[in-house]
Chain A
């Protein structure tokens, strides 16, 4: 009750004209970013983090949360109208959403997914407001051992799930990210590690420029690799069938609750995020549906499930971000960078060092939901024109924005070098089906994993016993072993089936 009261109070405090207008604008920007293929919510937050560096804290997170919520929803618009998801989290929505558009129900499909997104985000935000504060109390019991195994598990599971081709590529991505994180002066021993005498590397690789490099630059390069023109379906209903959007969504209550729980759970898993939540929600809804045969042919359930799942994952991903300092998704990973930049230290101490911050973030997401409803109605029809913006004009601007966005963080030309290097590396890795998610998560968590591992050993005089005697650490250790064992077993099964 106390948490709910704090959440409601934080929401009321937010209701100033500046914040409302800023939220409407940033949510609209998020929807457009999410809708445009090649741009993602992660990219949008990363690029805007630099822009908001000198902006007061409350406005910064208004903008970033608006872009986050708008971006996750926005992907569904291009999924429906173009059959190209604007974000990976909308890939499952395209399966039934575009079919509905082809049946002349584009406008209804957009309205249904918007309502599903709003419901999913609402459930996520309630979970954040109610569960996160008590979780910080549990997290206060965590020692170095628990943080080590949790963060390591996060990188491992992210690698396993996010891998596009072979799972080993996801793990290699995570290991690459970890090794990049080692480049700096070590905090425990005070020695320079892998800096090769370059003074710019002594403080380590800056996360935001690296993320912009991995997420934005490859998309700019890939956009020009094919000449296929986009076929945009008009965002209006041609079919004469009258559909009550509210009743259509409410009738799927079971799917909504199921997908929301999946989204919350998967969103809370470090690094996994909205993409996986959407697919698992879709897959589970299909398997448990009485109308399985309609999936893929224009089923409203097929469009609702992934949108509820991916938006519930926003709240889910924010829970470990704020309570443990471990981001639950790539956009949450960028938010971690933004939080650190503004002097907020997420983790078990957040309620002590920044009291009320969790409720404030939850309230911002709730405000973003309201903004999404307004913006979604206004932007629905103009989106057709927006989606037709030629990439020859859009992508060079994204490239220039990536450069200035990276520079804005540290005002360092060296950060631009990092954007370039990681951009080129990210492009080649993406061509070989390496997902950027485990690389970036490894980069973000690498320092924490290394330091907590050694601190745990130092505290126990070199003994590994704490990893086996502390219950939470043991649980995660077992999960790590099972994840590795499953992968080895799956690989052997695959090899045997080829033979």
Chain B
């Protein structure tokens, strides 16, 4: 990522980290207060070290934000036009598709109890490969063969050799 875009991303990250660290700080201090209310010492509390980590995360976020501002980043890039440009970019589309495929595999295909692991995995692999591969007959046949072999190896390797119950 080029430096200007990196610093803009850092600006957004620093805001997220600030919110995150404040949330963690509040929850950690609550834990410390609960410990004290039970008559125990502050250093026994489960919230002690998280409080320290939250504080340092906050400070690091401030430092990151300061560096981003000093390198010329500001919030003016947050416009609808830029958002549309990002969504239409190839990198975003590719990332979105792959994350979507993984989500489909993990949250839809694998949890279906009547669909065996072999079929879920074949569907995932085939869909993944066919989206990013050439669409001619030779490539499709090659993809099918590779998916069958790969699925077979994963099923045999984990299910039979390693004796792991497959999802």
Q: Which residues of A contact B73 (CB under 8 A)?
A: none
Whether the pair B43, A397 counts as a contact (CB closer than 8 A) is no
| B58 closest partner in A (C-beta) | A175
Residue B165 at the chain A interface, CB threshold 8 Å? yes
A interface footprint on B90-118 (CB within 8 Å = 1, 0 otherwise): 11001100110111011100110000000
**B146: chain A residues within 8 A (beta carbon):** 393
Q: Which residues from chain A contact B31 at a C-beta distance below 8 Å?
A: 191, 193
- Residues from chain A with a CB closer than 8 A to the CB of B121 are 400, 404
Q: Which residues of chain B come closer than 8 Å to A397, judged between CB atoms?
A: 125, 150, 154
Mostly, the A contact residues are helix
- Docked pose: A52 CA to B158 CA in angstroms: 9
Task: Find residues 5-19 in chain B having any chain A CB closer than 8 Å to their own CB.
Answer: 6, 9-10, 13, 17
Contact B98 A186 (CB under 8 A): no
Whether the Cβ atoms of A404 and B50 lie closer than 8 Å is: no
A399: chain B residues within 8 A (beta carbon):
98, 101-102, 105, 124, 128
Q: Which of A446-462 contact B (CB under 8 A)?
A: 449-450, 453-454, 457-458, 462
Take A54-B164, A166-B67, A221-B99 as given contacts and tell me if A454 and B43 are in contact as well, using a CB distance cutoff of 8 Å: yes
The answer to whether A413 and B124 touch (CB under 8 A), given A189-B46, A393-B146, A495-B70, is no
**Chain A 353-395 residues near chain B, CB threshold 8 A:** 392-393
Complex Cα spacing A100 to B83, Å: 45
Are A396 and B95 within 8 A (Cβ)?
no
Q: Which of A265-273, A314-322, A415-423 contacts B (4 or more CB under 8 A)?
A: A415-423
A432 to B17, CA, bound (A): 14
For B44, list chain A residues within 8 Å (CB). Answer: 188-189, 454, 458
B87 beta carbon closer than 8 Å to chain A: no
Residue contact A179 to B95, C-beta cutoff 8 Å? no
B41 engages A462 (CB within 8 Å): yes
Number of interface residues of B (CB under 8 A): 67
Chain A residues near B60 (CB-CB < 8 A): 168, 171-172, 175
Mark interface residues in B18-41 (1 if CB within 8 Å of A CB, else 0): 000000100100010011000011
Contact yes or no, A419 B106, CB < 8 A: yes
| A98 interface residue (CB < 8 Å to B) | no
Q: CB within 8 A of B49: which of A400, A408, A433, A450?
A: A450
Q: Are A416 and B106 in contact (CB under 8 A)?
A: yes
From A186, A221, A416, B94 is in contact (CB under 8 Å) with A221
B148 within 8 A of A: no
**B141 interface residue per 8 A CB criterion:** no
Q: Chain A residue with minimal CB distance to B12?
A: A432
A462: which B residues are within 8 A, CB to CB?
A: 41-43
B98: contacting residue among A182, A221, A400, CB under 8 A: A221
A50 CB–B CB distance under 8 Å: yes
**Nearest Cβ in chain B — how far from A223, in angstroms?**
9
- In whole angstroms, how far apart are the Cα atoms of A220 and B31 in the complex? 39
A51–B143 Cα gap in the complex (Å)?
Answer: 25
Question: Is A165 a contact of B6 with CB atoms below 8 Å?
Answer: yes
Whether B106 and A427, one on each chain, are in contact in the complex, defined by CB atoms closer than 8 angstroms, is: no
Query: Given A166-B64, A396-B129, A408 and B158 touching (CB < 8 A)?
Result: yes
Q: Give Cα distance in the complex from A491 to B62, angstroms.
A: 14
Q: How far is the CA of A217 from the CA of B111 in the complex (A)?
A: 20
CB of A57 within 8 Å of the partner chain: no
A360 to B77, CA, bound (A): 58
Known: A51-B158, A179-B53. A400 touches B46 (CB 8 A): no
CA distance A400 to B119 in the complex (A): 12
A150 shortest CB reach to chain B, Å:
16
Q: Residues of B contacting A50 with CB < 8 Å?
A: 158, 162, 164
Q: Which residues of A contact B70 (CB under 8 A)?
A: 495, 498
Q: Does A61 contact B (CB under 8 A)?
A: no
> B158: which A residues are within 8 A, CB to CB?
50-51, 404, 408
Q: Are A400 and B124 in contact (CB under 8 A)?
A: yes
| In contact, B63 and A168 (Cβ under 8 angstroms) | yes
A460, closest chain B residue (CB):
B43
Chain B: minimal CB distance from A255 (Å): 35
Residue contact A432 to B1, C-beta cutoff 8 Å: yes
Query: Is residue A20 within 8 Å, beta carbon to beta carbon, of the partner chain?
Result: no
Q: Among the listed B24, B67, B154, B167, which residue makes an inter-chain contact with A168, where contact means beta carbons less than 8 Å apart?
A: B67
Q: Which A residues are in CB contact (< 8 Å) with B150?
A: 397, 400
Asked if residues A396 and B41 are in contact (CB atoms below 8 Å), the reply is no
Report if A423-B43 is in contact (Cβ < 8 Å); known contacts: A53-B162, A175-B53. Answer: no
Q: In the complex where A175-B53, A221-B99, A224-B98 touch, is A392 in contact with B133 (Cβ < 8 A)?
A: yes
Per CB-CB distance, the 3 closest pairs between chain A and chain B, nearest first, are: A186-B46, A457-B43, A396-B128
Residues of B within 8 A of A (CB): 1, 6, 9-10, 13, 17, 24, 27, 31, 34-35, 40-50, 53-54, 56-57, 60-61, 63-64, 67, 70, 90-91, 94-95, 98-99, 101-103, 105-107, 110-111, 121, 124-125, 128-129, 132-133, 143, 146, 150-151, 154, 157-158, 161-167
Q: Give the interface of A toward B (CB within 8 A).
A: 50-55, 165-166, 168-169, 171-172, 175-176, 178-179, 182, 186, 188-189, 191, 193-194, 217, 220-221, 224-225, 392-393, 396-397, 399-401, 403-404, 407-408, 411, 413, 416-417, 419-420, 423-424, 427, 431-433, 449-450, 453-454, 457-458, 462, 491, 495, 498
In the assembled complex, 6 residue pairs joining A and B whose CB atoms fall closer than 8 Å, in A order, are A51-B164, A52-B162, A179-B57, A194-B27, A397-B154, A420-B107
